[in-house]
Every structure is written in C-alpha cells, then in structure tokens.
Structure 1
Amino acid sequence: MLDPFGPEARRLIEDEFDGVEELLAVIPSYVSIEAVLERVMWIKSREIPREVLELEGIRDLFTFYALLGALAFSPYGLEMELVKEASIRLYMERIRKAGRLEGTALPLSTVERDEIPGRDRTILEKTHHTELGPEERKRLKLEYKIHLSKFLELWDGSLREVYIRGGNAYLTRDQAIELWRRSFERNFERAVNLLYEIRDELPDYYLRIYERLGELAREHFKERLEKMGRAEAQPLRFDLFPPCVKIALGGVPAGLRNYAITVLLTSFLSYARLCPNPPRRDVRIRDCVSDLSVLEKEILPVIIEAGNRCKPPLFEDQPHEIKNIWYHLGFGLTDRPSLEDSGNSPWYFPPNCSKIKANAPELCRPDRDCRNVKNPLTYYLRKLYLESRKKGKGESGETDGEKNG
C-alpha cells in the first residue's frame, strides 16, 4: 500500500469494517503490540526492515491505524512526531520503489505528451541542453498535474517555482513527492484529531501502545526533548487560545454568559493549565495537582474577570454561578471546596467545536488554524506543539551557527 489514506485504504475501511471505529475495535484481536511497534522501532537505525517495507493490505492498515489509535491519547506530543516521521519515511520509500504516485490520497494525474506547448517544455525541461545527463533530465521532467485549487491547499512555496496552465499545476516528480508529504501530514493530523474524540471508547490495547511509544519517543528525541518540551502543565499562553475562548474571555451578552463562562471557559482553562493531555476523560483535578493554589490564583481569577466583562456582569447578576463553576471543575456544588472534594462531580471536558457551534454559534468564529480541529483544547495543544517545534529549530539553528562560525 502506497498511502494509508489513499483510495485502496479508504475502500478497505469502508467495505470491510464500516468505518474507522469498527476497524479500531477489531485490530487488537489480530495484531500484537510488538508487531505494531515494529513500524517505528527501526527509526534509530534509519534502515527500514524488509518485513515492514513489504507489509501489504489489511495487515499494513491494521498496524498503521493501531498507531493512530495510540496517538489519540496524546495528539501533539513527541509520540506523534515519532510515528509521523517513521510513517513518512516508510511510505516515501514505497513510493520510490513503485516509481509512481498514483494510488495515493493526492489527486494527481500524469501529463500527456502533447499537453504542454513545445516551447514551454523546452524552457522548463531544458530539452536542448545536451550537457544534461539522464538523471537530471528525469528530475526536470513535468510528470504530474493537479487541479490548482487542490494544489494551493497544500503548497506554501512560491508559485514562481511551479508551471501553471489551464487551471492545473504541473509538477516534477520531486515537487509531486513533496506535495504528497504535505498531504500525508495533513491527513495524519486530521485522523489523530478525529480519534481524540473517541479515545475513551478505545480498548486498553491502544493505551499500552501509547505508553511504549512514549518510551521510544523519549529515547529517539532525547537530545531535542529539553528544547522542544512537552504538552505538560505550564503557564497559560493566552496568545495561542482558539477564537471561541478569546471571545469568551472578552465578555459576552446575556443569553451566552453561562455557556461561555461556566461551560466553555471553565473547562478549557482548567484543562489547558492543569492537564492539557489527560490520559482519560474521568481524570480529577486532584490527580493533577497537590493543592488548589494554581486553580485559585491563576484560573479562577481569569474566569471571574471574564464573567465581570459580560453584560450584565455574570457573578453580580447570578452570585450562585460560582458554585456552578466549582461543580464543573469536579468539586460538587460548593463555593468552599477542598482538594478532597475533587471527584464529587465530573471535571467537565471542553465541549467539542460542533457543540459550541450548535449551542453558542456567536462564539464560533473559526480562523485558519481551526481547520481539522474538533475541540478547543486540541487547537491549543497543536499551537503549543508548533511553538515548541519552532523554538527547538531556532535553538538548533543558533547552535549550528555558532559551530559553523
């Protein structure tokens, strides 16, 4: 299989299993955890084992989606980085060996011989340059085309690098492979985000894979770990919050107040600050902290300030609503909680984007980073992850510069 998100994979998932959830339900009965981990354990040696490279059909699909199921427990951690890196290298090697990109999720088609005007082809492919060898000529050849709208979804380079004609982008093999890589990353992230929403329904099998992936990731990225950091409890980054949370922080009118402050803001801020990557949905605040100081000094004041910005001010208008805040934090209906009270009610998880849109559409003003995200907390985790990667690369660049200097 050239692409686990391609048409062959989609057909197998729909025809044989009626969807991804059913696929994930049957995988533990057919594939051992060790067999799943073989897909990534080779990464340190940088040599893909033949048995992994030659995996086909259902078994290839099982082992790949088993990894995705495990990543549902930590969608933006080093575990995801490890699996994504190993998977891209594996499928890219298969594409290289197959010598084609047809059959991947990327809607490419091959370029017909007379499709590009001769003069343009002469300039672009340098066909009159007799000094060029066969490999260089092959590298310059425009082999694939893709509709411009699909191309622009994935391409972030300069359009000057690409030949565009008749609503299509024409690509060399190298350009097409790079576009496939970006397509794979997008599909990979989208799949993990979707599975994040059902992780509590997944068998323990996937949690055990996730724990093993954590060990492998820490070993593989040990030199980067300090630079990149992880999605653990840390001071809130208000600049990375999703639009709905920023709107709630600014105060909302009557009719939206209880949902925006008590339901959305309380759950989002508490999880984002105390437990951004909860291992399960029934986690309690006392599982994450040893006292209530962070909650009382960093989270509750922000909630109260946001409530006071509402029109009319929420807690002046409804003083009892503070008890509801504590209830949603998992302490039961009280205004004087202790740590021991944690667990007296559920610690409410941030509502999904679909629920926010249905219950409080005024809060839902998506930005470009909302694409493929199903929950405000996932949005925040992704932004933290991207920031940490940027920081890690920046520090790595500075170090390289010092060495080269």
Structure 2
Amino acid sequence: MLDPFGREARKIVKDEFGGITELLMVIPSYVGIDAALERVRWINSGEVPKGILELDDVRDLLTFYALLGALAFSPYGLEMELVKEASLGIYSLKIETAETMEGTSVPLEAVRGDYIPPRDRAILERTHHTELSPEEKKNLRLEYRIHLSKFLELWDGSLKEVYIRKGYAYLTRGQAVELWKRAFERNFDRAVNLLYEVRDELPGYYFRLYEELGKIAREHFKERLEKMGRAEAQPLRFDLFPPCVKMALGGVPAGLRNYAITVLLTSFLSYARICPNPPRRDVRIRDCVQDLSVVEKEIMPIIIEAGNRCSPPLFEDQPHEIKNIWYHLGFGLTDKPTLEDSGNSPWYFPPNCSKIRANAPELCKPDRDCRNIKNPLTYYLRKLYLENRKRKENEQAEGAENEGKGAGMEGEGK
C-alpha cells in the first residue's frame, strides 16, 4: 500500500470492510499485538524491515489501522508521535521507490509534454546547463501538477518556489513528496481525532496495544520525555482554550447560561486540569486526585467567576445551580462534597462539537484550529501537543546555534 489514506485504501476500507468502525472491530481477529508493534519497533535502528515494506495491501491497512485504534486512547502524546514518525518513514520509503505518486491522498496528475511551454520548461529544468549531472537534472524535472486550490491547502512555502500556470501548480518529484508528507500528517491527525470519539466502543485489544506502544515510545523518546511533556494534570493554559470555552468564560446571556457554565465549562475545565487524557469515560475525580483542593481552589472559582459575568449573574439568579455543578463533576446533588462522594453521579465529559452546535449554536464560533476537531478537549490536547513540540524545536535550534558559536570561538582560539 503506497498511502493508507489514498484512493485505493479508501476503496478497500469501504468495499471490503464497510467503513473504518467496522474495520476496527475485525482487526483484533486478524492482527496480533506483536504484529502491529512491528510497524514501530524498527524505529531506533532506522531501517524499515523488508517484511513491512512487502505487506500486501489489506495486511498493510490492517496493521496500520490497528495502531490508529490504539492512539484513540492518547490522541496527542508520545505514542502518537512514535506512530506518526514510523508511518512516515515506511510510506516515504515506499513512495521513493514507486514509479508514480498518482493515487495517493494528494490529487496529483502526471505532467504531459504539452502542459508547459518549451521555453518555460527549458528555463525551469535548466535543460541547457551542461554542468549539471543527470541526477541534478532529474531533480529539477516538473513531473506532477495539482489544482491550485488543493495545493494552497497544504503548501506553506513561498509561491515563488513553484511554477504556476492556468490554475495549476507544477511540482518536481521532491516538492510532490513534501506536499504528500503534509497531507499524510493532516489525514493522520484527522483519523485519530475521529477515533477518539468512539474509543469507548473499541475492543480491549486496542487499550492493550496502546499500553505496549507507550513502553516503546518512552524508550524512544527518553532523552526528551521531560521536555516534551505528556497530556497529564497540569496548570490550565487559558490561551490554548477553544473559542467556545473562551466565550463561556467571558459570560453569556440568560438563554445560554446553564449550558455554557454547567454543561460545557464545568466538564471542560475539570478534565483539562485534572485528567486531560482519561483512559476511559467512566473515570471519577477521586481516581485522579488525592484531595479536593484542586477542584475547590482552582476549578470552582473559575466557574463561579464565569457565572457571575453572565447577564444576569447565574449564581445570584439561580443559587441552587452550585449543586448542579457538583453533580456534573460526579459528586451527586450536593453543595458540600467529599472525595468519597466522587462517583455518586457521572463526571460528565465535555460535549462534542456537534452537540454544542445543536444545543447552543451561539457558542460555536470556530477558528482555523477547529478544523477536523470533534470535541473541545481534543482541541486543547492538540494545542498543548503543538506548543510542546514547538518548544522542543526551538530548544534544539538554540542548542545547535550555541554549538556553532562554540565551535567558531574554538577556531578563533586556534
């Protein structure tokens, strides 16, 4: 399989299995946990096993989606980083050796000779530059084109780097591969987000696979584990909250108060602060904390302040709503909870974006980061993940810069 998100892969998933959900249900019967882990175990050696590269299309999809199913339990953590890195390595190698990239998830088509004026082609491909080797000339050859609207969705470089003609961007093989990598990462994130919503329905096989992935990920990333950070309890990052939560924090009018404060804000803040990546939906607060201080001193004041910003103030107008807040936190209908009360009612999970749009459409004002996101908590997890990755990249760049300066000073000393 050249691309697990490509046209042929989608056809197999739909025609032979009936869809992704159905595919995930049958995978445990066909793929052992060790067989799925073979797709990532090679990563420390840097050499993809020949057996992985030679899997038939169906077996390739089964083992790939087995790992995606496991990532439903940790959509933005080291496990995802590991699987994405290993999968990019596998499919990049397959694409490098393939005759064509047509049929991947990027809508590329081969360039015919009459698409580009001969003079333009001669300039762009430097066909008259005799000093260039055949390999260098091959790398300059424009092999694919893609409609400009699709191209702009993925490209983040300068348009000056690309030949554009009659609504199409023309690409070298190298540029097409880079575009495919961006599409792969986008499709990968989208798939994991979708599976996060159905993880409670998945067989126990996937959680066991996730636990094994965690062991490999911690070993692979052991040098930067602390810097990278994981989606565990930590102080809230208000700047990374989704638009609906920020709106609820600012106070809302009467018709939205109960939903915005009691349903959305209470669930989001409590999970984001205490248990941002719960292993299951029936988790209780007492499974995550040893006392109620974090709830009483950090979460409840924020909820009450947001309620007081409403018009009219929620808790002045409906003082009994405090009991409802504790009920949604899983302590039953009370205003004087103890840790032992945790579990007397469900600890409500943040509502999905579709439910927010249906029940409180005024709260749903999506920004560009809401694309492919199905739940406000997933939005927050993704932003935390990207923030940590950006910090790591900056630290690595600073380290390389300092090493370069040190080497320069050393040279001057000589």
Q: Which residue type is aligned with residue 99 of structure 2?
A: G
Structure 1 residue 398: Cα displacement: 1.7
Q: Which residue of 1 aligns with 2:339?
A: 339
- 1:274-313 to structure 2, matched below 5 A, reads 274-313=274-313
Q: Which residue of 2 aligns with 1:4?
A: 4
Q: Which runs of 5+ in 1 are unaligned?
A: none
Structure 1 residue 331: Cα displacement: 0.3
SS of 2:255's partner is: coil
Q: Which residue of 1 aligns with 2:254?
A: 254
Structure 1 residue 403: Cα displacement: 1.8
SS of 1:344's partner is: coil
- 1:49-128 to structure 2, matched below 5 A, reads 49-128=49-128
Structure 1 residue 99: Cα displacement: 2.8
Structure 1 residue 8: Cα displacement: 1.0
- 1:7-46 to structure 2, matched below 5 A, reads 7-46=7-46
Q: Which residue of 1 aligns with 2:150?
A: 150
- Mapped to 2, the partners of 1:16 and 1:127 lie a distance apart of 47
Whether the aligned pair in 2 keeps the contact of 1:76 and 1:385 (CA below 8 Å) is yes
Structure 1 residue 55: Cα displacement: 1.0
Whether the aligned pair in 2 keeps the contact of 1:354 and 1:374 (CA below 8 Å) is yes
Q: Which residue of 1 aligns with 2:166?
A: 166
- Mapped to 2, the partners of 1:321 and 1:345 lie a distance apart of 16
Q: Which residue type is aligned with residue 23 of structure 1?
A: L
Bigger mean CA offset, 97-106 vs 286-295: 97-106
Deviation beyond 2 Å, 4+ runs, structure 1? none
Q: Which residue type is aligned with residue 12 of structure 1?
A: I
Whether the aligned pair in 2 keeps the contact of 1:79 and 1:217 (CA below 8 Å) is yes
Asked if 1:367 is matched to 2:370, the reply is no
Structure 1 residue 382: Cα displacement: 0.3
- 1:142-291 to structure 2, matched below 5 A, reads 142-291=142-291
Per-residue deviation, residues 135-179 of structure 1 (Å, max 9, x unmatched): 111100110000101000000111111111111110000000000
Q: Which residue type is aligned with residue 344 of structure 2?
A: N
Q: Which residue of 2 aligns with 1:319?
A: 319
Q: Which residue type is aligned with residue 46 of structure 2?
A: R
Per-residue deviation, residues 74-131 of structure 1 (Å, max 9, x unmatched): 0000100000000011001011111321121110001111210111111111111111
Q: Which residue type is aligned with residue 7 of structure 2?
A: P
Q: Which residue type is aligned with residue 321 of structure 1?
A: E
Whether the aligned pair in 2 keeps the contact of 1:304 and 1:315 (CA below 8 Å) is yes
Structure 1 residue 317: Cα displacement: 0.4
Whether the aligned pair in 2 keeps the contact of 1:244 and 1:363 (CA below 8 Å) is yes
- 1:136-147 to structure 2, matched below 5 A, reads 136-147=136-147
- Mapped to 1, the partners of 2:56 and 2:93 lie a distance apart of 14
- TM-score after normalising by structure 1: 0.99
Q: Which residue type is aligned with residue 260 of structure 2?
A: A
- Mapped to 2, the partners of 1:172 and 1:139 lie a distance apart of 7
Whether the aligned pair in 2 keeps the contact of 1:227 and 1:395 (CA below 8 Å) is no
Q: Which residue of 2 aligns with 1:353?
A: 353
Per-residue deviation, residues 291-313 of structure 1 (Å, max 9, x unmatched): 00011111000000000000000
Q: Which residue of 2 aligns with 1:392?
A: 392
Whether the aligned pair in 2 keeps the contact of 1:31 and 1:62 (CA below 8 Å) is yes
Structure 1 residue 399: Cα displacement: 1.7
Q: Which residue type is aligned with residue 206 of structure 1?
A: Y
- Mapped to 1, the partners of 2:255 and 2:13 lie a distance apart of 43
- Mapped to 2, the partners of 1:90 and 1:223 lie a distance apart of 24
Aligned-pair RMSD on alpha carbons? 0.6
- Mapped to 2, the partners of 1:142 and 1:321 lie a distance apart of 65
SS of 2:146's partner is: strand
Whether the aligned pair in 2 keeps the contact of 1:356 and 1:363 (CA below 8 Å) is yes
Whether the aligned pair in 2 keeps the contact of 1:308 and 1:315 (CA below 8 Å) is yes
Structure 1 residue 244: Cα displacement: 0.2
Q: Which residue type is aligned with residue 191 of structure 1?
A: A
- Mapped to 1, the partners of 2:129 and 2:311 lie a distance apart of 72
**Number of residue-to-residue matches in the alignment:** 405
Q: Which residue type is aligned with residue 134 of structure 2?
A: P
Whether the aligned pair in 2 keeps the contact of 1:252 and 1:310 (CA below 8 Å) is yes
Sequence identity, in percent? 78
SS of 1:356's partner is: helix
- Mapped to 2, the partners of 1:157 and 1:170 lie a distance apart of 14
- Mapped to 2, the partners of 1:71 and 1:343 lie a distance apart of 27
Bigger mean CA offset, 52-61 vs 188-197: 52-61
- Mapped to 2, the partners of 1:313 and 1:267 lie a distance apart of 20
